[in-house]
Structure 1
Amino acid sequence: MRYPIAALALLVLTACEAQPEGEPVARARIDGQEPAAAAPTPEPSATATLASQVESACRSIIFEDTPLTHCLAVPSRHRIAMDLGPRGEAPYRSLTDFARAQDPDTIAFAMNAGMYDDEGEPIGYFVEDSERLQALNTADGEGNFHMKPNGVFYGSDGKWVVRSTDSFLANVTERPEFGTQSGPMLVVDGKIHPTITHDGPSRLIRNAVGVDDNGRAHFVISNAPISFGKLARFYKDELDVKNALFLDGNVSLLWNPATDRLDTGAPIGPIAVIKKKASE
């Protein structure tokens, strides 16, 4: 999200364009209700058939009538890194430009991850390859980032954590291998953020991350406009995640090489990169 100047422009938008979906929405529903009747599924193309043979870390589901894509990073199979742009150069600003610079066979998925200024630079804590590019931001202000408690997603050596900013400041003394700060927290110590309502009027394409008790990182992007409350409930009630962090809204994008999904949209900033570990 461009911040703070572009935030004013975003207020006039009701939702971003629906992102291209590389996977069909699953017929099964995670909320236990009976699914609505669906149109017959067309025969897959040769490209889709080939993509389906590649294991995907992402699945499409429906939660409370809203389609989501849920991508799971597992420490035994994946590494997580942050990327802003080529070293010494300007930020990528799009997943398309980022993807051009990568070997897709090494990437499980990638997603924009944190708020940024008009140049694409992070406005909060940001660590890439153990190098801190932006200090922790504890300032007060307007907008989602300052909807406290906000938080930090970080990790080292396959141990990934989401903490509120205050908890991070009080408990983390060593620089992690990666880190990104955003806000608001969706779920804090098993409870939904105190100012998030059940299903508020703000509905946008949104993405987030949370880490469960088994150390797995759950990345979620909505495929239709969603409220903060519904996204928070998905983490708390369905994924049983005790700490989840909102990453961004209205510019949320996903690259999933396994299904040839490569979202395009407004310029982005920090990118979370989930890489495949080499086979033993």
Structure 2
Amino acid sequence: MRGLWLLCLLATPAAAVTCEDLDHLGASYTVCEVTADEDLQLFLRDDAGAILGSFSAVEADTGRDLAFAMNAGMYHDDRAPVGHYIEDSEVEMRVIATAGPGNFGLLPNGVFCIGDHLRVYETRDYQAKAPTCTHATQSGPMLVIDGALHPRFIKDSDSRFIRNGVGTSADGTRAVFAISNEAVNFHDFATLFRDRLALPDALFFDGKISRLHAPQLNRSDFGWQLGPIVGVLE
């Protein structure tokens, strides 16, 4: 019997994503961890070039279920990405390295790279290292840079919104995606990645429109149509 139990255990596939709810500094968050060996991708357009815009549209377009997904970077009114964007090794948008208006232009900003590793790079470091990314999305500001918080964050700021982002481990084997379940400021959101999740680099994706698809938590947020989406296909 014991041998049969071990055989069944070995035959059971590991979960592609692990999601959980947690509290940090008195606020609620949902975090989902993905490893580099999972089928993590970015999704923007269908084969005809039309913006997908929703989690259900990604599933319909790929013919596969999503184990996890969230919005993955800022976009224009036509839902084209504001910054650098690569999907399936095809570059849609170049790197934007100059300061500008809004959160995206609050330098330093950064790039989330999906390749043989998962890594958040500060934008100019990304340009200097030129890593090979099968998928990449640029957003801003950086939340954590080599263990330090973005220098412009204010601890007691009253600028509070629902926010989401991603942090990566130092060895590039893990990415942890987080969304706040209530309005938080940049400082507290950044310390979630640095102090609670112990991740050296993290990048803000967006606020207000932030949404999560986490079937294992029976959660799939809906609302406005999205631009870039990051997700793991079953």
Q: Distance in 1 between matches of 2:121 and 2:43?
A: 20
**1:179 corresponds to which of 136, 154, 157:** 136
Distance 2:211 2:203 in 1: 16
Which residue of 2 is the match for residue 60 of structure 1? Answer: 21
Per-residue deviation, 1:248: 0.5
Aligned to 2:40: 80
The answer to which of 236-245 and 79-88 deviates more is: 79-88
Q: Which residue in 2 is equivalent to 1:255?
A: 213
Of 209, 215, 224 in structure 2, the residue corresponding to residue 266 of structure 1 is: 224
Q: Is the 8 A contact 1:110 1:256 kept in 2?
A: yes
| Paired position in structure 2 for 1:203 | 160
Deviation, 1:262, is: 1.2
SS at match of 1:170: helix
Given that 1:57 and 1:108 are in contact with CA atoms closer than 8 Å, whether structure 2 keeps it comes out as no
Contact between 2:113 and 2:119, CA under 8 Å: does it hold in 1? Answer: yes
How many residue pairs match? The answer is 219
Asked whether the equivalents of residues 96 and 262 of structure 1 are also in contact (C-alpha less than 8 Å), the reply is no
Scaled by the length of structure 1, the TM-score of the pair is 0.74
Give the strand-richer structure, 1 or 2.
Answer: 2
- Trace 1:120-199 onto structure 2 (pairs within 5 A): 120-157=79-116, 159-172=117-130, 175-199=132-156
Which residues of structure 2 form unaligned runs of 5+? 1-13
Measure how far apart 1:104 and its partner are.
5.3
Contact 1:192 1:232 in 2 (8 A): yes
Query: What's the RMSD between the two structures over aligned residues?
Result: 1.7
State the distance in 2 between where 1:103 and 1:231 align.
34
- The separation in 1 between residues aligned to 2:53 and 2:114, in whole angstroms, is 23
1:234 counterpart (192, 205, 221): 192
2:52 counterpart of 1:95: no
The TM-score with structure 2 as length reference comes to 0.88
Q: Distance in 1 between matches of 2:228 and 2:151?
A: 27
Decide which of 72, 76, 79 is 1:113's aligned counterpart. 72
